[in-house]
Amino acid sequence: MRERAPRLPLLLAFLSAVVGGGAVSEFRICAYNVQNFNSQKAANFKVLHTLTRIICRCDIILLQGVTDSDGSAIKKLVSSLNRYSGRYEGHHYSSVSSSGMGKSPDDMQKYVFIYRTETVKVTDQYQYPFQTHFVRAPLAVHFYSDKTDIKNFVLVGLHTDKDNAVKEMDRLYDVFEEVLKKWNNKNVMFLGDFHAGCAHMTRRDKKNIRLFANTSFSWLIGDKMDTTVTDETSCAYDRIVVYGKSFLKAIAPFSAAVFNYAQEFKLRRTTVLMVSDHLPVEVRLKGSAPLIQATPLLLLISTALHSFL
């Protein structure tokens, strides 16, 4: 028995590593309103470093509030990501952007998807043409990944105008129909700052929004979650919504969350507010690796061994 005792902890460590490997292979999708991200913000080391740490957790992230007219700020951010990830993780990032949209020339915002090129590919993109229906018309991007259970899926980004949030959210159903017609793909996820809470969108308002009324759409970020930074507000503005059972089944259970990086990175409130007064939201897709299928059995074995010890 003296000879065998040291081997059990080693076996448990191996099983934990294998089981942990299954979790690591899950695929993270994020959305973040970076609030007027431009070349001036990108030149701030604290802001750029914090954004780099946030984004490097995600396989895909939708950035909103990007006021980077010439693309230099996003180019600098992607370069920072590739340096940081190359040092610690070995991932490479790229991006795809919309045109600038807004109410005035001084407030032209872009949607930017940044993604890991090793885990996902962009196969097509579609800018919704009816800008009269939206202040910032949604950007839809068709992705393919062989790392996830669901291989082909569409992400639709929207940053609603707070004064027209209810109307714009209802019109997302029209965008869904256009996307379905274009790509014949029902695996659609909507994400972004919808202003879907507090005074901008009440319970009564939601009865008139098709994405709420139609039970085929699942709202993964709940009404009681707080996606804001300051103590003065506690609102679920930023959301993630998926269509259909197949996409819902492809999502890791209970993975939809608000990422409070202030707590995670132990940052001061002043530093966080330099980046944005919003927090990122995220969800994970199940991985397609064979180890994922074996995970429940490995967990049972690991639990039994721990009980035995």
pLDDT at position 163 is 94
Question: For 99-127, what is the mean pLDDT?
Answer: 95
Confidence tier at 106 by pLDDT (50, 70, 90): confident
- Confidence check: pLDDT of 78 > 50: yes
A 10 A CB-CB count for 13 gives 10
Residue spans of beta strands (DSSP E) within 188-229: 188-193, 217-219
Express each pLDDT in 154-178 by its tens digit.
Answer: 999 999 999 999 999 999 999 999 9
**pLDDT-above-70 percentage for the chain:** 84
- Confidence check: pLDDT of 79 > 80: yes
Residue 195, helix vs strand vs coil: coil
More confident residue, 207 or 258: 258
| Domain annotation for the chain: domains and CATH numbers | 28-277 (3.60.10.10)
pLDDT at position 288 is 80
Mean pLDDT of the chain: 87
Answer whether 190's CB lies under 8 Å from 158's CB.
Answer: yes
Answer whether 65's CB lies under 8 Å from 33's CB.
Answer: yes
Answer whether 1's CB lies under 8 Å from 302's CB.
Answer: no
Confidence tier at 25 by pLDDT (50, 70, 90): low
pLDDT at position 12 is 36
- Confidence check: pLDDT of 16 > 50: no
For residue 190, list its beta bridge partners. 156, 241
